[in-house]
Chain A
């Protein structure tokens, strides 16, 4: 049985599992844009990449960004330039929705109550008028702004919103009500308090009603709130604390995210990207954005950067790769190779910083079948109860033990800090410490009647998705493992004995169970919590293999964020406040699950479609952005579901 390992983005949990499965991961970075780094070849949308051997290449998208942005005249929106917006980040968006000038008189009104109200308002108007005298007419500017895309905005702007008064020279003709509305929407706090509560649909309708409301609903903080609503359904819960580098503003983020979700639901592939063709048979494949890690039957381990489409590292292990793992924070790649001829296994560790090998581990038992690694330990097992554990930083062997009463092979192995969690083929879960002390042995009998667990994914909240041989997938929650400490924080240490009584009382429960309609022999999981996707393929060399995308959705819509609040003025610096973060911890019990129909990955672009139908996948993995496919004949392809950025750009910014 071959194994493959997977690490959490935050390095806390590492686990291994059988080759066929892919764990759920907390992605540290799922919003990379790839379109910036390549220009599609004229013949079609497939992009090819040339890799520069083993040398890491710095991301090229910054260069591209600068050249593209200079092609647009950003000077039309001088206000933006004066507000320190970083325009070099992105290639895609020239300029702006109306981002108002920082307005001194706004503060004047607030801070000095002793002024005559009308007087201050008049003064404000004068100040503002003089501000704009050097710019174009406001309504003209607004018109132009509407034609152009949103610009990146600096955090400071969010607190210093000023009215883009749509009072053109014809303002005297505006109705009293309109003036009143405008006056109401002048202060940022009020705008945020009103519009921050509205759904995306309502904001959309507001934007269409008139220029004032278009402007008023363009605050970044409002769009950030909508982004939170969109993300709220995501399994990975990858909440960007600040805008990802290649995304200029929150509205763009929402758009891209929304379109991506839609594409997943429809199975519409936006682009097929070739990562590598220089492969013999791939034995392991995993994606953990922005990296792809592959292992080959000749012992090569490749680490790719998706954004730059370059090969970052090429490592060599002796034998056929049966497990690889990449720990981003610790900057190591670990690979397990099994040499069939010599009947020997070895584990090698490499540093991605230096590119050098930093460790070699061999064990007496010839079939090191399954491994796990985390920031402290490396654990290897033969799948039948023999374990060896090392402290990989020092290279010292920590323990070697045999766990008794093995009833079946270990399907999956996870390392949660100092505790080893095992899942067996017959549905037994065992927990023991790194030194072999057993904490508990439990069965999933009552919820997995078919017993024959083949695939397994461990999510970072310690729930697992298992696949039984009856073609049933079940998402199982293990509340005992998900205990909370005194502060209500999830307890990530499992170092305690769990009795059978405790287990019987609240050991495991099933979130959902789904009978797949087609048999398959490989699957991966990724996507979103409330839109969970998994992909299945049937490895058959002769036949066309459709890649199926299943979605899982709540049976009722996620309620909109319930808040009225202005506490998020603190979010002006671009970070989510505790207030906002609290909104995201959804009570799982409040959702019911049901499976949507599966869709088959396809494209409406005939050339892409041809390519997709011609794929012969042998390995597959996915994350919220891509399905990564390892081909039978060698080679890796990325199927992209996020909108291709140039297309996104075309839709906006046109006059």
Chain B
């Protein structure tokens, strides 16, 4: 049974119910609303991002749903991003952030995980200057503040 999603900029997307329900938020909304043809508004997600999210959900529609289990052994979860996901995440930074935010908003945990892992991989091993360059941010510390932080954290330096 198809479900219609409306993006922030009023673009409509029609997807299968099981694809849409990869988003827990949408799943709950559907349950609350019951059988209805009215489109589900997603005012926090633009159409470009929603398109990507739907693409992800469609590709992963048959994945087992991850149960929120406290005793879940994280070692069983694969640490590596699979190839398709890697290609999927090879987008510009703006889109990457938007995807993460959308996954968070829509409550699509695997997508959130993959997105955050991608960002983490970007950060790994970089010096502060490289981090700034990557995200195009300015060093807004005063020299004193910077020295203070270094002093505060110097124990972490040689680990």
What residues of chain A lie closer than 8 Å to B126, measured between beta carbons? 202, 205
How would residues 112 to 155 of chain B score, 1 for a CB under 8 Å from any chain A CB and 0 otherwise? 11001101100111111101100111111110011011111101
Are B97 and A183 touching (Cβ within 8 A)?
yes
Set of chain A residues within 8 Å of B120, measured between Cβ atoms: 194-195, 197-198
From residue B142, how far is it (CB to closest CB) to chain A in Å?
A: 7
Could you tell me if B44 and A117 are in contact, using CB atoms closer than 8 angstroms? Answer: yes
Contact flag A570-B70 (CB < 8 Å), given A143-B145, A207-B149, A208-B146: yes
Contact B43 A116 (CB under 8 A): yes
Contact A563–B142 (Cβ < 8 Å): no
A354 within 8 A of B: no
Residues of chain A within 8 A of B139, CB atoms compared? 209-210
Instruction: Find the residue from A198, A210, A566 having the highest chain B CB count within 10 A.
Output: A210
Would A563 and B74 be within 8 Å (CB), given that A180-B97, A183-B97 are in contact?
yes
Q: Which residues of A contact B68 (CB under 8 A)?
A: 567
Query: Shortest beta-carbon distance, A207 to chain B, in Å?
Result: 6
Q: A117-B8, A197-B117, A210-B139 are in contact. Are A583 and B127 (CB under 8 A)?
A: no
Bound complex: CA A203 to CA B159 (Å): 12
Report if A212 contacts B (CB, 8 A).
yes
Contact string against B for A residues 240-265, beta-carbon threshold 8 Å, 1 for contact and 0 otherwise: 00000000000000110011001000
From B41, B124, B153, A114 is in contact (CB under 8 Å) with: B41
Min distance, Cβ A103 to any Cβ of chain B, angstroms: 16
Contact B153 A654 (CB under 8 A): no
- B149 A654 Cβ-Cβ under 8 A: no
Q: Measured between C-beta atoms, what is the minimum distance from B40 to chain A in Å?
A: 9
CB-defined contacts of B104 to chain A, threshold 8 Å: 187, 189-190
Q: Which residue of A is nearest B154, CB measured?
A: A651
B116 touches A114 (CB 8 A): no
Known interface pairs A117-B44, A207-B149; A578-B25 also in contact (CB < 8 Å)? no
Nearest CB of chain A from residue B112's CB, rounded to whole Å: 6
Contact across chains for B150 and A259 when beta carbons are under 8 A apart? no
Interface positions of A from 151 to 185, Cβ below 8 Å from B: 166, 174-175, 177-178, 180-181, 183-184
Across the interface, which residues of B come within 8 angstroms of A651, CB to CB? 151-152
Tally of contact residues, A, Cβ under 8 A: 66
A187 to B103, CA, bound (A): 12
Q: Is the CB of B159 within 8 A of A201?
A: yes
Nearest A residue (CB) for B41:
A114
Report how far A177 CA is from B92 CA in the complex, Å. 12
B40 nearest CB neighbor, chain A only: A113
Residues of A within 8 A of B140 (CB): 139, 166, 210-211
Interface residues of A in 550-601 (CB under 8 A from B): 561-567, 570, 577-579, 582-583
Specify which of B25, B109, B148, B153 is in contact with A113 (CB 8 Å cutoff): B25
Contact: B43 with A117, CB < 8 Å? Answer: yes
Number of inter-chain CB pairs below 8 Å: 179
Residues A204 and B112 in contact in the complex (CB < 8 Å), given A116-B43, A209-B139, A210-B138: no
* Neighbouring B residues of A206 by C-beta, 8 Å: 123, 128, 131
Report B46 CB to chain A, min CB distance, Å. Answer: 9
Contact of A198 among B123, B146, B158 (CB under 8 A): B123
Across the two chains, which residue of chain A brings its CB closest to B157? A204
Complex Cα–Cα for A143 and B152 (A): 14
Give the shortest distance, in Å, between B133 (CB) and chain A (any CB): 10
A147 touches B (CB below 8 Å): yes
Cβ–Cβ contact A202 & B125, under 8 A: yes
A115 is an interface residue with CB less than 8 A from chain B: yes
> What's the least CB distance linking A182 to chain B, in Å?
9
Report the bound CA distance from A178 to B138 in whole Å.
8
> Given the interface contacts A175-B137, A567-B72, does A184 sit within 8 Å of B101 by beta carbon?
yes
Q: How far is the CB of A172 from chain B (nearest CB, A)?
A: 14
B131 touches A209 (CB 8 A): yes
Q: Are A566 and B135 in contact (CB under 8 A)?
A: no
Report if B62 contacts A (CB, 8 A): no
- Shortest beta-carbon distance from A115 to chain B in Å: 7
Contact of B159 among A180, A181, A184, A258 (CB under 8 A): A258
Question: What are 22 inter-chain pairs, A to B, with CB distance below 8 A?
Answer: A113-B43, A166-B140, A177-B136, A184-B97, A184-B100, A187-B101, A190-B100, A198-B123, A200-B156, A204-B157, A208-B149, A209-B132, A209-B139, A258-B156, A561-B74, A565-B74, A566-B109, A567-B70, A570-B70, A577-B70, A582-B71, A652-B151
